[in-house]
Structure 1
Amino acid sequence: MMSDRIDLSFLDRPEILSFIFYPRRDFGESRLGTTHFIEVEEGVDIGCRFYLSGKNNPSILYFHGNGETVGDYDYVSPSFNRRRINLFVADYRGYGLSDGSPTISNLVKDAHPVFKGFKEIIAQEKCRNSLFLMGRSLGSVPVVELAHHYQDDIKGLIIESGAANTFNILFNLFGFEISPSLKEKLEAASNKAKIREVHIPTLIIHAEQDSLIPLTEGKALYENSGAKDKEIYIIPGADHNTIWLVGGEDYYQKVEEFVKKYG
């Protein structure tokens, strides 16, 4: 597939990574979820947390934004669980209790063993095999990668505050100069390019006033999606980091409606 032909390790430079990743080590104990570790390569484990609401409920594999950790979702998970949705949140290298340090190439590569581990845990817990992918902001990169590869295993894809032009918009945001040849290479590895080949039901959620990843990016994901069943949900008056607060119950209601319709 397309992403298999593109080596992103040339982006794993300190001056780039320091702008894209903001790893935090606080993970903490949880009375709401169970902690799991998934090995992504020998000696490197990724910390995850499973918020189980019911074995017969659909389950979402969720990848968070660049300044968050799994532990933050102790506050968010009840809004999913009340709607009879199981939430499985994965960290990145260097975040929470995970080993290693985050890189762009590993952000994409690690998604595959995390997805495999997620499916194994779902089976071990004897949960219903009704699986969804959801990614917020930076988390849109691993979920689009997974949707591009494993559509037959997934009921639907949800992208919140995601970028279509992925790496180019990040470089523009932080003022990096991009040569025409590099721009072309990055476009081939972008969410926009991959999502054209994703045909499972897709929901795009975006803040109307997003100042980090503009609404035009969410619209581009929607327009380029290869899904027949797709929807874009725009939250008026919200910015990138106020989308949950402004969206409130309507945000979670939209996710519930999507999961129930296709799960």
Structure 2
Amino acid sequence: MTEHSLEFLDWPDIGRILFHPRLEYPGGSLMSGAVSLRIPVAGDLAVGGKIYMAGLEAPVILYFHGNGEIASDYDSIAPYYTSRGLTLFVVDYRGYGSSDGSPTATSLLKDAVALYNQAGYLLTQRGFSYPGLFVMGRSLGSAAAIEVAYRAGADIAGLIIESGFAYTLDLLHRLSDTRLPPADEAHDGFGNLDKISRVTIPCLFIHGQRDDIIPMTDGLALRDACGAGRKQMVIIPGAGHNNLLASGLMTYFDAIRRFVFAITPLEGPEPFP
């Protein structure tokens, strides 16, 4: 596997393109059935997260969100998971929500692995006895999720990638209106294609047909490179990058539900009509 350096992506100017952190609104209410927590990741630094519980024995999805989101944004989305028998565990990045510090490419990947390594303890400590832990990443979060799947291997029940990117430098060029320093995808990117080629657990890829931020071709490239024998691609017709749920809500969540419950032994509730 090609050795990837994060030195280029850790440059402050590049970080300002990749990350758009914002803090959680003070005094925000915690929705019923949700658990808010702060998780140590390095030294005295901790990041925030939320567990939206479907039941103590429900499968769990550890979720890495997009670069302009925070965990609390999922207060309105989590019921679509929990109503399908899926517990959603959304984690923030440094500088996001209630988290400490500032985000970098290095901390994104290292913290993702640290969060995964603690997830089992945090869940069992709260009484969860889930049949499987799935990892999911949306947009920028796809890099974190792929990193975890690459490192953890078969300890994860399955990987779900939504609007994931295959080519880091192409994404940076689309996100930036200024000229970027010279860089090489094989050395200076996140290495998503290389890593996912070594992922053999079941994988689900979801992408908007008309995504102009991370084109559908990136999602297809990840699917094609994926080393799993069991992999599936779901394309949401007419959807862009930020309107997948508006364009195909039932297709989106029912695909996730079917994927998870085809792997775990428990049956979830019937999907909404």
Structure 1 residues 185 and 253: CA distance shift in structure 2, 3 A: same
Determine the C-alpha separation between the residues in 2 that align with 1:214 and 1:237.
12
Determine the C-alpha separation between the residues in 2 that align with 1:183 and 1:53.
40
The Cα offsets for residues 33-83 of structure 1, whole Å up to 9 and x where unpaired, read as 111111111110010000111111100000000010000000010000000
Shift of 1:29: 2.7
Residues matched between the structures, number: 258
Determine the C-alpha separation between the residues in 1 that align with 2:105 and 2:157.
27
**Could you tell me which residue of structure 2 aligns to residue 148 of structure 1?**
150
Q: CA RMSD in A?
A: 1.5
Determine the C-alpha separation between the residues in 2 that align with 1:183 and 1:157.
24
Determine the C-alpha separation between the residues in 2 that align with 1:192 and 1:178.
22
Alignment of 1:163-242 (within 5 A): 163-165=165-167, 167-173=168-174, 174=176, 175-177=178-180, 179=182, 182-187=184-189, 189-242=190-243
2:76 aligned with 1:78, yes or no? no
Give the secondary-structure state (helix, strand or coil) at the position aligned to 2:90. Answer: strand
Alignment of 1:129-144 (within 5 A): 129-144=131-146
Unaligned runs of 5+ in 2: 265-273
Say which structure is richer in helix: 1
Determine the C-alpha separation between the residues in 1 that align with 2:7 and 2:180.
18
Alignment of 1:79-158 (within 5 A): 79-124=80-125, 125-158=127-160
Shift of 1:170: 2.4
2:30 aligned with 1:30, yes or no? yes
Q: Scaled by the length of structure 2, what TM-score is found?
A: 0.90
Shift of 1:112: 1.2
Aligned residue identity for 2:68? G
- Checking the alignment, whether the CA contact within 8 Å between 1:55 and 1:126 is kept in structure 2 is yes
Q: Which ranges of 4 or more aligned residues in structure 1 deviate by more than 4 Å?
A: none
The Cα offsets for residues 122-165 of structure 1, whole Å up to 9 and x where unpaired, read as 22123224110111000101100000011221111000000011
Structure 1 residues 178 and 234: CA distance shift in structure 2, 3 A: farther
**Could you tell me which residue of structure 1 aligns to residue 19 of structure 2?**
21
Shift of 1:10: 3.6
Shift of 1:251: 0.9
Shift of 1:243: 0.6
Give the secondary-structure state (helix, strand or coil) at the position aligned to 2:140. Answer: helix
**Could you tell me which residue of structure 1 aligns to residue 268 of structure 2?**
none
Residue 159 (structure 1) aligned to one of 161, 164, 180: 161
Give the secondary-structure state (helix, strand or coil) at the position aligned to 1:9. Answer: coil
Determine the C-alpha separation between the residues in 2 that align with 1:245 and 1:190.
31
- Checking the alignment, whether the CA contact within 8 Å between 2:7 and 2:188 is kept in structure 1 is no
- Checking the alignment, whether the CA contact within 8 Å between 1:36 and 1:48 is kept in structure 2 is yes
Q: Scaled by the length of structure 1, what TM-score is found?
A: 0.93
Determine the C-alpha separation between the residues in 2 that align with 1:155 and 1:204.
15
- Checking the alignment, whether the CA contact within 8 Å between 2:135 and 2:156 is kept in structure 1 is yes
- Checking the alignment, whether the CA contact within 8 Å between 1:66 and 1:138 is kept in structure 2 is yes
Q: Percent identity?
A: 40
- Checking the alignment, whether the CA contact within 8 Å between 2:17 and 2:172 is kept in structure 1 is no
